Amino acid sequence: MDEITEIDANGVISIFDPWGRSYITLLVDDSYKTISDDVGDGILKLTSEPIKLQSLELPPKRGKETKQHRLLKANAAKLLKDLGEEKIQFEGFDNSDVYGNTLRIRIECGHTDGMRYFRSLWTVKEFWVLQYPYDSELSQLYKFKINYKKMIEKYPKGKKLLSKDKINTFIE
């Protein structure tokens, strides 16, 4: 597992790989810049590791979802199970691709956007992105572990919006 301590907004865009034209993404969405700043400030601990996708039983198809996307979701669920998660949801919390209720880990598979990370704040401890395997059978897994204590230090006004119990749930 490799730790990434510095990354710019374009690097974050390459992790999230949002749909659309990436060259205009920064013009319409500043979430990637904020995420890159938070990595640099230590609010987010970002790690990356290659994952060999396994042939697993696929979760139910949702809409026009591809087989490859369902395979990513199945592998993401297996990663959570291997960590001891027993309460896994597909398309659960905020339509996340895969969500571990006990560990509070949200996993987005393939293409996603930075705002999904922000909608997860104060509900998850980690936000993962499992990418499509483009050049090999290996997929890249990026883990964003959130340090809420540092987040409050940098953004103290946010503390007023939350109950003390909610804050204590996430402060380590």
Helices then strands (H, E): number in the chain? 7, 7
CA 85 to chain centroid: 16
pLDDT greater than 80 at residue 28: no
Calculate the average pLDDT of the chain: 90
State the average pLDDT over residues 118-141. Answer: 91
Q: What is the pLDDT of residues 31-73, one digit of tens each?
A: 999 999 999 999 999 999 999 999 999 999 988 899 999 999 9
Q: How many domains does the chain divide into? A: 1
Q: Where are the alpha helices (DSSP H) in the chain?
A: 9-16, 22-28, 31-40, 67-82, 114-120, 148-154, 164-170
For the segment 84-123, what is each residue's pLDDT rounded down to a tens digit?
999 999 997 788 999 999 999 999 999 998 999 999 999 9
Distance of alpha carbon 118 from alpha carbon 151, whole angstroms: 12
**Structural domain harbouring 29:** 2-170
Output the pLDDT for position 136.
Answer: 72
Q: Is the pLDDT of residue 21 over 70?
A: no
Q: State mean pLDDT over 136-156.
A: 92
